[in-house]
Amino acid sequence: MSNERQFITRAAPVRQTNTGSKVGVAVRELPFVQHAILAGWGFIHGQRVRKACAEDMPLKVRCMVLQAVDGARIALVTVDLHGGSRYLTETVAAFDEVARLGISVDRLFLFGTHNHSGPGGLYGSVYDTLTASTAVLGAVPLMPDGKLALNTGLATRIAELIRDCIVEAGTQRLVDAKLGFACGHLPDTENRSSAAFLNNFENADDARRSMARHLGVAVDSLPEDAVRMAVDPRVWTLAAVTAGGEVIGTFSTVNCHNTVLSRDHDVQSPDFFGHAADRLERAGNGVCLIAAGSIGDTDPLLKGDLDERRAERAAARDGKARLDQNLKLICAHADAVANAVTSVLATARSNASPLAALEVRYSEEPIAGQRIDDYVMPLKPCFGESTLAGSELGRGPPLFVEGIRSVFDDGDPHSPKHMADSAIAAVLLGAANDRLQRLHTFMPLRLATLRTEANEMTRIVSLPGECTTWLSARLERAVKGSASRVLVTSVTGDYLGYLTTAREYAVQNYEGSSTIWGRHTGRWLQRRLEEMAFTGAAPRLRPTAEFFTDVEDEWETAFNSAKDRGVWRRRDDHAHQVPTGSVDVREIGQYCDGRPGNAEPNPTQRCEAAK
């Protein structure tokens, strides 16, 4: 294994002569990888995948290409993975087929759904090795002699599928269309870090007033437990429709962790975002994209008393929980999301208007040592020990203590992040933070501004980490200007842990410890996005993207060997077949390729049976 400096050459976009307000959509299935380790559950608790979660519910990539009247385009792409990795984004943008559509890396919005039950090894960064488990079978994660690597074979195949999806959406499926917007509401979510949320305000009354002002409602209309729940229930939906009003596809943001399925089930699943998208598509709404909004501190809950909901969620996450119970929870939350979108589709269709203009701003400016007001960003990023301890979504082993505060000086921008007490934690954090210095030097930020002929302006902000509810609210206000709405999305274009406010950071354990650029990260994001929204022209893109990544040659060797020996399997025209038998993860696994027009079994068979 070697730690290499890699460059990906960015393809130059081709100016489009095709004009008019148009939209195209497409969908592909992702590979099913046997014996992969699940991304997002940590290096100890990530289980090796042995089967699909309901064989008729594969992971998918969904794409919506938007074209304005003057031919300017962007690609909105959701992928049922833990995050939209920078490595995948840059690899897709480097394809000439994508560049010929006028889509460069700044115009490619790769949204991860933050699904924790898909394969890891796709980031090409240390965060994947720390929390999304790319260890080769039998290796000890993060130890100096452990075999940790970017799974280049799998990453390349997924990048090719994303490319094919974009090309299909941007060519044969691109049709005249209008865009409409509406806002639904998702019930039954909870802020899992509400004490930190409340630390943003002077008191609970101030919190209620601020929440009401942000959501655009009267204080008296907030539920009694609004401050205790501390969530953003809005589900913004963009609907693309034909001149006749037929829905081509939808793009929605959901402010909730896409994590219902327990970490202890060794299945590959798109969780409830994927099930919700499938429900919407079966209802005749074209291709339906669901992206992660402000998810950093928000979890799903079921109906009922708050304490009962928490107990049921905890039981579902217990290792002894039955898979069918988790599937019931997935179905319930998928129904809630689908209902939130469906309830406002008529409104979105009625206000639809051609896309008159489309502007994009992109930032890849360095962070280290940058000054914001009276604050200076740290010179190096780092994790704290609580990152290893695990969050409320999934606790780590007891040797990693969560809740211990700082060994940094008060003036240090990483304070009060806590470093390692135990020898094991010191080894793991030392290895991680050593690699982190080279791997993450900036945060890729994207800001798209859509203007319709009805003079409606919408902004889409993409962030490369898990943004908390109140930081999302601040960023929304910072860039709104005269826009009618701002959609803030998380885990897009890269995965850099958590993004939080300074006052939240001061009392958070897991989220703050996983905010690798320290307590001023929120301020830096706000200033940078304000500059992108209101000053200057779009900067010139650099000709290459640079990576320092762990590369294991045997990944690629095994991938090619498996492909030559026919390990890759394809879906036939009538049924989804997952071949039996174990395949070593280094052989990439078995692949089921989805193509538009295939006859598919009912994706709710397993869920309905579990009810």
DSSP state of 136: P
CA distances from 111 to 246, 365, 492, 547 (A): 25, 21, 4, 20
Q: Among 392, 414, 413, which Cα is nearest to 402's? A: 392
pLDDT beyond 70 at 167: yes
Length of the chain: 611
What are the pLDDT digits (tens) for 532-581?
A: 999 877 778 888 887 765 544 333 343 344 344 333 333 332 222 333 33
Predicted pLDDT of residue 202: 94
Average confidence (pLDDT) over 486-512: 92
Q: Identify whether 416 is preceded by a cis peptide bond (ω within 30 of 0).
A: yes
Alpha helices in 318-364 (DSSP H): 323-350
Predicted pLDDT of residue 307: 65
What are the pLDDT digits (tens) for 242-253?
A: 988 999 999 999
Predicted pLDDT of residue 312: 63
CA distances from 281 to 161, 274, 277, 289, 412 (A): 20, 11, 6, 10, 50
Strand spans (E) along 433-543? 445-452, 457-462, 466-467, 485-489, 498-499
Maximum separation of any 2 CA atoms in the chain, in Å: 66
Predicted pLDDT of residue 352: 97
Greater confidence, 222 or 280? 280
Other C-beta atoms closer than 10 Å to the C-beta of 312 total 16
pLDDT beyond 50 at 230: yes
Decide: residue 601, CB within 10 A, 0-12 exposed, 13-18 middle, 19+ buried. middle
Residue 61 tokens, joined: 């990539």
Predicted pLDDT of residue 324: 78
Average confidence (pLDDT) over 476-503: 95
Question: Read out DSSP for 387-398?
Answer: HHHEETTEE--T
Is position 587 annotated in a ligand binding site?
A: no
CA distances from 226 to 101, 216, 283, 470 (A): 45, 14, 32, 14
319 three-state secondary structure: coil
Of the pLDDT bands very low, low, confident and very high (cuts 50, 70, 90), residue 17 is confident
Residue at token pair 């000890």? 140
pTM value is: 0.86
| Helical packing angle, 469-480 and 521-534, nearest 10° | 20
Predicted pLDDT of residue 580: 30
What are the pLDDT digits (tens) for 43-55?
A: 555 666 777 765 5
What rounded mean pLDDT belongs to the chain?
80
- For 552: left if phi > 0, alpha if psi spans -120 to 50, otherwise beta; the answer is beta
For residue 336, the Cα-to-chain-centroid distance in whole angstroms is 20
Predicted pLDDT of residue 206: 95
CB contact set of 292 (below 8 Å; sequence gap of 6+)? 111, 112, 113, 114, 253, 254, 258, 273, 466, 489, 490, 491, 492
Is position 87 annotated in a ligand binding site?
A: no
Predicted pLDDT of residue 327: 83
Predicted pLDDT of residue 144: 33
Other C-beta atoms closer than 10 Å to the C-beta of 187 total 12
Residue at token pair 């879906």? 571
Predicted pLDDT of residue 100: 96
Decide: residue 398, CB within 10 A, 0-12 exposed, 13-18 middle, 19+ buried. exposed
Predicted pLDDT of residue 301: 78
Average confidence (pLDDT) over 421-442: 70
By DSSP bridging, strand 22-29 and strand 175-176 are antiparallel
Of the pLDDT bands very low, low, confident and very high (cuts 50, 70, 90), residue 582 is very low
Predicted pLDDT of residue 393: 59
- Distance in angstroms between the alpha carbons of the first and the last residue of the chain: 47
CA distances from 160 to 121, 135, 270, 565 (A): 16, 24, 20, 20
How much of the chain, in percent, has pLDDT values that exceed 70?
73
Average confidence (pLDDT) over 353-361: 97
Alpha helices in 143-285 (DSSP H): 152-170, 194-198, 204-215, 226-229, 271-282
Other C-beta atoms closer than 10 Å to the C-beta of 575 total 12
pLDDT beyond 80 at 438: no
For 134-138, 386-390, 536-540, which range has the lowest pLDDT when averaged over its residues? 134-138
At CA 306, angle to CA 279 and CA 81, rounded to 5?
40
What are the pLDDT digits (tens) for 187-225?
A: 888 898 888 999 999 999 999 999 999 999 999 989 888
Task: Determine phi and psi for 381, rounding to 5 degrees.
Answer: -80, 155
pLDDT beyond 80 at 260: yes
Tell how many helices (H) and how many strands (E) occur in the chain. Answer: 18, 25
Residue type at 313 in one-letter notation: R
Average confidence (pLDDT) over 143-168: 78
CB contact set of 346 (below 8 Å; sequence gap of 6+)? none
Residue at token pair 């490595």? 87
3-state helix, strand, coil in the chain (%, to 5): 30, 25, 45
For 50-64, 70-84, 216-230, 570-584, which range has the lowest pLDDT when averaged over its residues? 570-584
pLDDT beyond 70 at 605: no
For residue 571, the Cα-to-chain-centroid distance in whole angstroms is 27
* CA 184, 188, 192, 197 torsion-angle sign: positive
Predicted pLDDT of residue 9: 84
pLDDT beyond 60 at 601: no
Average confidence (pLDDT) over 493-509: 91
Average confidence (pLDDT) over 420-442: 70
For 129-143, 314-328, 395-409, which range has the lowest pLDDT when averaged over its residues? 129-143
Average confidence (pLDDT) over 149-156: 78
